Amino acid sequence: MSEDVIVARENGVLTLTLNRAEKKNALTGAMYETITAEMAKANADAAIGAILILGQPGIFTSGNDIKDFVAVATSGKLSMPVLDFLKALVTNEKPLVAGVDGGAIGIGTTLMFHCDYALATARAVFATPFVDLGLVPEAGSSLIGPQLMGDRVAFEMLVMGEKFDGARAERVGLINRVVEPEALEAEAKAVAARIAAKPREAVAISRKLLRGDRVALAARMDEEAAIFGARLKSAEALAAFQAFLTKSK
């Protein structure tokens, strides 16, 4: 288990707080493993009625840790911790809530497509720089994005890599509402607790009806992962990684 994820249970809510602010909450394999394991425990725990994911003031997550990402690029395939986390999002049976302040890059944005309720501040920044790295969207976002936002807005976000602030994210339906930074954590916890206080079976059944069949989503995730792995070996991706590493030195 990673110490970079704070785990708490209160008021029927499992709260997972990303706690690596000095590295902009970049997600490591160990962090993915912790989140996935805790989500599995929550799904098996009748006392948990909702799962809440939070970042730190000013940063939700900058996406995958660069060292892990370079290792992934070298291997030419997504790591198992990432794949296990993506599968956990599809099979998750508990309402998922998020509170976002600051950057939510890559998986930080595509995670929102799997949330049942999401809050963000006006200074939140949602961005998916996959194509700029010679890659493709992940986490089923190529399927859910157009369904949620329409083809053209999804293209703007997932292909053009345009940044969306909190207000724009609210307008296109990526999040529910914008709150002040100082109120984000309390508001997110209150929403999660309110969901958890409702009749559990009725919530679970209603959520399944709203989400529909997950088979198509799981299949799209597998397709994205296969293409993502192939793209990691492409000339475009190798050039993008080299440029990134040179710039960061």
Question: What CATH number is associated with residue 34?
Answer: 3.90.226.10
Q: Going edge to edge, which strands form the sheet with 125-127?
A: 59-61, 103-105, 125-127, 164-165
Domain residue limits at 9: 5-181
Residues found in the chain: 249
Counting the structural domains of the chain, the total is 1
Cα–Cα dist 154/160, whole Å: 9
Task: Note whether residue 221 is domain-resident.
Answer: no
* pLDDT, mean of residues 162-183: 98
Task: Note whether residue 202 is domain-resident.
Answer: no
Task: Note whether residue 194 is domain-resident.
Answer: no
* pLDDT, mean of residues 83-91: 95
What integer pLDDT is reported at residue 31 of this predicted model? 95
Cα–Cα dist 193/240, whole Å: 43
Residue spans of alpha helices (H) in the chain: 29-43, 66-75, 80-91, 107-110, 141-149, 151-158, 166-171, 184-196, 200-211, 215-232, 235-248
Higher-pLDDT residue of 12, 79 = 12
Task: Note whether residue 82 is domain-resident.
Answer: yes
What integer pLDDT is reported at residue 78 of this predicted model? 62
What integer pLDDT is reported at residue 181 of this predicted model? 98
Higher-pLDDT residue of 120, 228 = 120
* pLDDT, mean of residues 91-100: 98
Q: Are strands 125-127 and 164-165 parallel, antiparallel or unpaired?
A: antiparallel
What integer pLDDT is reported at residue 202 of this predicted model? 98
pLDDT tens, 8-36?
999 999 999 999 999 999 999 999 999 99
Task: Note whether residue 193 is domain-resident.
Answer: no
Cα–Cα dist 90/57, whole Å: 28
What integer pLDDT is reported at residue 34 of this predicted model? 97
Paired tokens of 8: 């708490």
Cα–Cα dist 5/146, whole Å: 31
What integer pLDDT is reported at residue 73 of this predicted model? 62
Q: Is the pLDDT score of 103 beyond 90?
A: yes
10 Å Cβ neighbour count for 23?
Answer: 15
Task: Note whether residue 205 is domain-resident.
Answer: no
What integer pLDDT is reported at residue 244 of this predicted model? 74
Residues ≥6 apart with Cβ < 8 Å to 112: 98, 100, 104, 118, 126, 169, 174, 175
Task: Note whether residue 42 is domain-resident.
Answer: yes
Task: Note whether residue 241 is domain-resident.
Answer: no
The fraction of the chain above a pLDDT of 70, given in percent, is: 94
pTM for the full predicted model: 0.94
